[in-house]
Structure 1
Amino acid sequence: MNKPKSMKTIESDKFWDGVAAKYSQKAVPNEEMYQKKLKETQSYFSSEMRVVEFGCGTGTTAIHHAPFVGQIDAIDISENMLKIGRERAHQVGVGNIDFHLGTLHDFNAEAESVDVVLGLNVIHLIPNWQVVIAEVARILKPGGVFVSSTGCLGGSYMRFLKLVVPVGKCFGLMPDLFVITEDELADEIKAAGFSIESQWHYGHKDMEVFIIARKNAL
Structure 2
Amino acid sequence: MNKLKNFWDNASENYDKTEERFEYIHKKSRENTKRFLKDSDTVLDYGCGTGTASCQFSSLIKDIHAIDISSKMIAISKEKAALGKIENVNFEQSDIFDKKYSSESYDVILAFNMLHTVPSPQDVTQRINEILNPDGLFISVTPCLRQRMSFLVNLQIQLVRVLCKIGLIPIPIRRITSSEVDDLLIANSFQVVESEEIYKGASSYFVVAKKLQET
1:91-102 alignment, distance < 5 Å: 91-102=83-94
Distance 2:2 2:174 in 1: 17
Count of aligned residue pairs for this structure pair: 207
1:1-218 alignment, distance < 5 Å: 9-26=1-18, 28-106=20-98, 108-155=100-147, 162=161, 164-167=163-166, 169-170=167-168, 175-204=171-200, 206-218=202-214
CA drift of 1:70 comes to: 0.8
Q: Which runs of 5+ in 2 are unaligned?
A: none
CA drift of 1:28 comes to: 3.2
Distance 2:19 2:124 in 1: 28
| Contact 2:68 2:74 (C-alpha < 8 Å) held by counterparts | yes
TM-score (norm 1): 0.85
**Amino acid in the other structure paired with 2:36:** Y
| Contact 1:112 1:140 (C-alpha < 8 Å) held by counterparts | yes
**Amino acid in the other structure paired with 2:191:** S
Distance 1:109 1:214 in 2: 19
Distance 1:28 1:67 in 2: 23
SS at match of 2:39: coil
| Contact 1:162 1:179 (C-alpha < 8 Å) held by counterparts | no
| Contact 1:118 1:146 (C-alpha < 8 Å) held by counterparts | yes
Distance 1:61 1:107 in 2: 25
Distance 1:40 1:57 in 2: 19
| Contact 1:15 1:174 (C-alpha < 8 Å) held by counterparts | yes
Distance 2:27 2:162 in 1: 34
- Percent identity between the two aligned chains: 27
SS at match of 2:108: strand
- Judged with a 3 Å threshold, the aligned counterparts in structure 2 of structure 1 residues 46 and 142 are, in CA distance, closer, same or farther, namely same
